[in-house]
Amino acid sequence: MKQIFPILLLLITTFTIAQDRKFPPPNEAIKDELLKTFLIQLKEAVQKKDTAFIYTSLSQNIKNSFGGNDGIKEFKEIWKLKKPNSTFWYYMNRALSMPGCIQNNNTEAFSLPYIFCIPLKDNEDAFQTAVITEKNVALKQKPNKTSKTIYTLSYNVVSFVSNPSGAISTKGKNEVGDQEWYQIELLNGKKKIKGWVYYKYIYSPIGYRVILAKENGKWLIQTFVAGD
């Protein structure tokens, strides 16, 4: 279950090239003071790997996957937070490192990262579309940090490139065994640009996201899933 995002990417066999558009983080400040406080506490808990805080912050019916394995008991069995190699902390930290968003004007729910809220166009597939998560991100000619920078990206919406076998073109593994470099392309006007992006600066709308919801006046973790 914890490798849903990488596996889903490898299933893609067709793609369309992302047009030259951007999806920057929302500028609107969080108005709910309880939500702001909870986010601060949650981020601190993740940094400290505070298992007790996480468990007390889970909704009783937390959604853990799209296979019906919901609830706190299943959450504990899936993530095994007390084990030193639990990847929960990595995935949750990535989700919390970016701003969040409110969907469909529902002020009782808040999703992180904001990329989950991207309005996809008709020619964009959630499985092959991604967003550059920062300003001035280097698009490299080859999948390594010393390679020539061929373009600079800032919150661009991009498309993954497929290799001859139909899988997403990637190179290397990061600290939790996910892909380290992604080959992507986009259109700058009528010019197609193709290169490599380091994993820390790109995110998929079907990647891990946390959805917080207000239950009986208290903000809780209602969903933590990847996939679609």
Task: Give the E-state strand segments of the chain in sequence order.
Answer: 58-63, 109-112, 129-132, 137-140, 149-153, 157-160, 170-173, 179-188, 191-198, 202-203, 209-215, 218-225
Task: Give residue 54's identity as a one-letter amino acid code.
Answer: I
Work out whether strand 157-160 and strand 58-63 pair parallel, antiparallel, or are unpaired: unpaired
Share of the chain above pLDDT 90, in %: 80
* Predicted confidence (pLDDT) at residue 90 exceeds the cutoff of 70: yes
Six-digit token pair at 194?
């193709």
The pLDDT of residue 190 = 84
Q: Where are the domains of the chain?
A: 17-26+118-203, 33-116+206-225
H-run or E-run covering 94: helix 88-96
The pLDDT of residue 205 = 96
Number of alpha helices (DSSP H) and beta strands (DSSP E) in the chain = 5, 12
The pLDDT of residue 13 = 37
Task: Give residue 92's identity as a one-letter amino acid code.
Answer: M
20: confidence class by pLDDT, cuts 50, 70, 90: confident
* Cβ count within 10 A of residue 87: 17
180: confidence class by pLDDT, cuts 50, 70, 90: very high
CATH architecture for segment(s) 17-26+118-203: Roll (2.30)
Cα–Cα distance measured from residue 221 to residue 223, given in angstroms and rounded to the nearest whole number: 6
Cα–Cα distance measured from residue 86 to residue 71, given in angstroms and rounded to the nearest whole number: 18
Residue 188, classed as helix, strand or coil, is: strand
* Predicted confidence (pLDDT) at residue 85 exceeds the cutoff of 70: yes
Q: Is the pTM of this model over 0.75?
A: yes
Per-residue pLDDT of 101-138, as tens digits, reads 998 788 899 999 999 999 999 889 999 999 999 999 99
CATH architecture for segment(s) 33-116+206-225: Roll (3.10)
CA-wise closest residue to 87 among 227, 216, 226:
226
Per-residue pLDDT of 182-206, as tens digits, reads 999 999 888 999 999 999 999 999 9
